[in-house]
Amino acid sequence: MSNNALFYLTSNDMPLVSHADGIYIWDTTGQRYIDACSGAITCNVGHNHPTVKRAMVEQLDKVAFSYRTQFESQVALDLANRLVGLTDGELDKVFFVGSGSEAVESAIKLAVQYFVAQGQSERCKFVSLRPSYHGSTMGALGLTGYEPLEAPYRSITISSVKVPSPDLYRFQETSVEEHIASVLEQTENAILAAGPETIAALALEPVGGASTGGRMVTKAYMEGLRALCDRYGFLFIMDEVLSGMGRTGAWFAYQHFGVVPDILALAKGLGSGYYPIAAMMARQELVNEVNRSGGFMHGHTYAGNPLACATGLAVIGVMDSEQLVNNAVEQGAYLRQQLDQLALKYDCIGNVRGIGLLQGVELVQDKASQQPFPASFNAFEKLTALAKARGLLIYPRRCLNGLEGDHVLITPPLTVTAADIDDIIALLDDSLAAFEQVSLRQEVCS
């Protein structure tokens, strides 16, 4: 047993981090790793960027912290206006917090208080997808559809109305169009069963993240959900904690579909790992209604923190000056092409999916039947460990409700080049070759 006083999800000892630069990170033994998952799909502008560091030091020289009920900071005002501009004014109010879970919690509370202010306090339920991931705090966990995370806390969380997520890989209908129509019908039936007059909002990730490995939806699906929200009078929340801030080749993933949410949650790439910052964005009409009722009954100590906002503003400046959203389109297409080639080479790759520099690879035991590996085999952990031993960091999870269906995310910083992608693919290729040998031995033993 380790003498380490820290504990997280696992008790495994990790290498001690030393330093990082660009897409690389080193441990204290001198081992270099390619950060092909941007940490937790966070470091969008890469590590150790001089412009971001300089902006943070300049802000530290002025003031690191001020409290939102006592002062406002110019950097918070500037960052809010910048974010509104990135939505083309479709969402025009911003509330800053410190993490993705806090952003989702804020979205939940704004939706409920909006209806309370309108005299519709019965609207207190939420609809979300299974599988999905929306955060680890209690309200966000209630929206989450990922069995291992839900199970320990089921007695103390208020679960949402769970509806099926579209699965463009394993669907049983004769076409994608029929599948989407079926999922939308099931969603509406669940809303009707719960009582549409009790629903405050429907929440989803426009592009799946950790819980689905880059699972995509279609424009027809997004339009269908928007229509359900409008028909039954509840709000549409989009969780872009992972997919937002240029990761998919647009500033926000919802922009690929032409369907605008009422409330948007952002985090991760907003601060790019340099300082914790997240945001909830909303339509002004919602905020005005809540303000008329006495103001938003919600807040956090670090809401609008000057150092955090200066960091976010610098990150957006770097993304603009280095054209990183365009780079996510260009290099994302190249990454996808190379991953598709690996899928042709390896029988253990069942599906490659995603958009831009948010790409997922689903592992299967049998390609023809799409049969996942047995959960006990822990394929996602095995491949991740093999990659890490070769100096490649990838992000593992399970896409079938967290119980099976192993996948890894390949989500390098948006600064990645074609040469960097070649290096990533070479290491992943070697890791997959080793993984197939391990999985073949598993089949022999079983």
pLDDT of residue 143: 98
pLDDT of residue 144: 98
Strands 125-130 and 199-204 turn out to be: parallel
For residue 137, give the DSSP letter: S
According to the model, what pLDDT value does residue 5 have?
A: 80
- The tokens 């520099």 sit on which residue? 357
Mean of pLDDT values over 228-257: 98
Please compute the mean of the pLDDT values over residues 55-68 and round it to a whole number. 96
CA distance 228 to 396: 33
pLDDT surpasses 70 at 444: no
Summarize pLDDT for 393-422 with one digit per residue, the tens.
Answer: 999 999 999 999 999 999 999 999 999 999
pTM for the structure as a whole:
0.96
CB atoms within 10 A of CB 301: 9
Burial 257-283 (b: 16+ CB within 10 A, else e): bebbbbbbbbbbbbbbbbbbbbbbbbb
Contacts of 38 (CB under 8 A, 6+ apart): 44, 273, 411, 412, 413
- Give the per-residue pLDDT at 11: 57
How do beta strands 278-282 and 93-97 pair? antiparallel
Segment 252-272 shows an average pLDDT of: 98
Q: How confident is the model at residue 9 (pLDDT cuts 50, 70, 90)?
A: low
Higher pLDDT, 6 or 111: 111
Q: What are the pLDDT digits (tens) for 354-382?
A: 999 999 999 999 999 999 999 999 999 99
Residue 75 pLDDT exceeds 60: yes
> Do residues 248 and 207 touch, judged by C-beta distance below 8 A?
yes
Q: What is the rounded average pLDDT for all residues in the chain?
A: 96
Judged by phi (left if over 0) then psi (alpha if -120 to 50, else beta), residue 330 lies in alpha
Kindly indicate the confidence band of residue 2, based on its pLDDT and cuts at 50, 70 and 90.
Answer: low
Residue 337: Cβ within 10 Å count: 12
Is residue 122's pLDDT more than 80? yes
**pLDDT exceeds cutoff 60 at 190:** yes
Rounded to an integer, the average pLDDT of 135-164 is: 96
* Strand partners of residue 145: 132
Residue 244's nearest CA partner among 220, 202, 277 is 277
Domain borders along the chain are: 17-48+323-445, 53-321
**Where does the pLDDT of residue 187 fall: very low under 50, low under 70, confident under 90, or very high at 90 and above?**
very high
Question: What is the percent of the chain where pLDDT is above 90?
Answer: 95
pLDDT at 446: 47
Domains 17-48+323-445 and 53-321 share a fold: no
Instruction: Write down the architecture of domain 53-321 according to CATH.
Output: 3-Layer(aba) Sandwich (3.40)
CATH 3.90.1150.10 matches 17-48+323-445: yes
Q: Over pLDDT 70: what percentage of the chain? A: 98
